[in-house]
Amino acid sequence: MRAIEPILQSDRPQVVLDLSNVRQLDSAGVDMLLHCMSEAMRRDGDVKLAAPSAEAMVILELTRTGRLFEIYDSATDAARSFSSFLPNVMRQFSAPETPTISFPSTGLKVTSSQVQPGENNESAA
Mean per-residue pLDDT, 86-109: 56
Asked if 20 and 53 count as a contact pair (C-beta separation under 8 A), the reply is yes
Share above pLDDT 90 across residues of the chain, in percent, rounded to a whole number: 59
pTM of the model: 0.71
* Residues 42-89: tens digit of each pLDDT: 999 999 999 999 999 999 999 999 999 999 999 999 999 987 655 444
Q: Locate the domains of the chain by residue range.
A: 5-113
Please give the CATH number for the structural domain made up of 5-113: 3.30.750.24
Residues 6+ apart with CB under 8 A from 54: none
| Amino acid, res. 107 | G
